[in-house]
Amino acid sequence: MEPNASLKKYTLLVACGASFLTPFTGSAINLAIPSIGKEFGSSALLLGWVATSYLLASAAFLVPFGRLADIVGRKKIFILGISLFGLFSGLCGFAWSIESLIAFRVLQGIGSAMIFGTSMAILTSVFPPQERGKVLGISVATVYTGLSLGPVLGGIMNHNLGWPSIFYFTAVIALAVFLFTVWKLEGEWAGARGEKFDLMGSILYSVGLVSFMYGISSVDSSVWAKYILLVGLVVLIAFVKYEMKVKQPVLNLSLFSKNLTFAFSNLAALINYSATFALGFLLSMYLQVVLGYNSQTAGLILLSQPVIMAILSPFAGTLSDRVDPRLVSSWGMSITTLGLFIFCFLSKTTPIWLLILNLGLLGIGFALFSSPNTNSVMGSVEKRFYGVASSTLGTMRLTGQTISMAIVTLLLTIYVGNVKLSETSADMLIKGTKIAFIVFTIMCFGGIFASLARGSVKTNAQRYDQK
């Protein structure tokens, strides 16, 4: 095998391994939420933070680590990230309380930020533009394979071995990816080598984003949340003003102001994840708490959505190499909106076959949106901004996921209250779930227009002139 082909093969394998980890953990843990709640006697509110704490940490550090990777080397940061992710995944399994589990999830999230601030950038660095849609489609398919196996393996492991086994399994995969990266992935990629790292900008960004996202997540459960939200907004405004004056900023804001495709593709990703991420969490609670299924059966029911996504994503990625990615991802957003709308009518008597069919419809929508949208983002910037572009898209994803969980946490607090899961009223849980799907449908409908507004993509990597 020629060296270039060999490098491509191993890079794709490493990127796919990394792409598998987080979605697998997230979708598997959703099935274990009731078990974790039962073991620690936790409220629905605290259980929401098992997911949200991880997302907050990942989002806060993604852009700084993406920029640092562009300067010191993407492979170095990736290896450090996969090591930390594996270590704290294992420690999550040893958690002795809900608070310690949340703390380890925060540290796991920091490792995740290093992985996802670099893996897509490494992939884009190795593969030429004409192959990018295809390999990004394969990578996204791996994400959905993780989502597919998560509910099934997570449900089985939780049911037979207990919820900690999910974290141990994740730690083993992380170790395998680490060893393969060190052994097989030769070379280094640093598009901005020699440039200065913007430490002050990174601090302002992380503090502002965490404060803002925490404020949104806790506005109904903490008297201080609205003040923290305000502080976050002020710090983010200060961050924007500071970045405009810095010669080598942590986040090049001209990527948004001068590049319509980059700006609206990221906005579309933010809206899509805000409207869809909490789907697994809500349906896991619905299937187990309302309908009384065990985690293993619930996982098999939830399987229909990610299986369709995994099958269709490579085709959607290849299609976005031939058809304007804007159009493909807009079709995906439209189908997703329809699927969310159908879930607005969820009840105790909803047939399981209808739920499975609608999950399949959502799988088609997600597949048509995700890899073409990623192709739009990565194809709209120069090589020296791949790390920042990858981590910015990752931040939109994680911020969207946090907003999604914040909406659900807020609605569960309003309709269910801060009570133990065993005391949760099925009727009130369904009411909160239906309101959440109404909110998500409206958001996703608006996302169709954000997706269309980005303009036509014309191999932006070649035409975009960064001034």
Instruction: Tell me the DSSP string of 61-127.
Output: HHHHHHHHHHHH-HHHHHHHHHHHHHHHHHHHHT--SHHHHHHHHHHHHHHHHHHHTTHHHHHHHHS
- The confidence score (pLDDT) of residue 1 equals 39
- The confidence score (pLDDT) of residue 168 equals 93
- Collapsing DSSP to helix, strand or coil, 420 comes out as strand
Q: Which of 436, 419, 405, 387 is nearest to 68 (CA)?
A: 387
Q: Where exactly are the structural domains of the chain?
A: 3-182+200-463
d(CA 444, CA 446): 5
Q: Which residues of the chain have pLDDT under 70?
A: 1-3, 44, 132, 144, 147-148, 187-194, 217, 219-221, 383-384, 386-387, 417-425, 454-467
Q: Which of 383, 314, 321, 373 is nearest to 124 (CA)?
A: 383
d(CA 306, CA 268): 20
- The confidence score (pLDDT) of residue 189 equals 63
- The confidence score (pLDDT) of residue 2 equals 43
Report yes or no: 400 and 272 within 8 Å, Cβ to Cβ.
yes
Which two structure tokens, joined as six digits, stand for 458? 């014309």
- The confidence score (pLDDT) of residue 234 equals 93
- The confidence score (pLDDT) of residue 438 equals 94
- The confidence score (pLDDT) of residue 63 equals 81
Domain spanning 3-182+200-463, CATH architecture: Up-down Bundle (1.20)
Report yes or no: 446 and 440 within 8 Å, Cβ to Cβ.
no
- The confidence score (pLDDT) of residue 221 equals 66
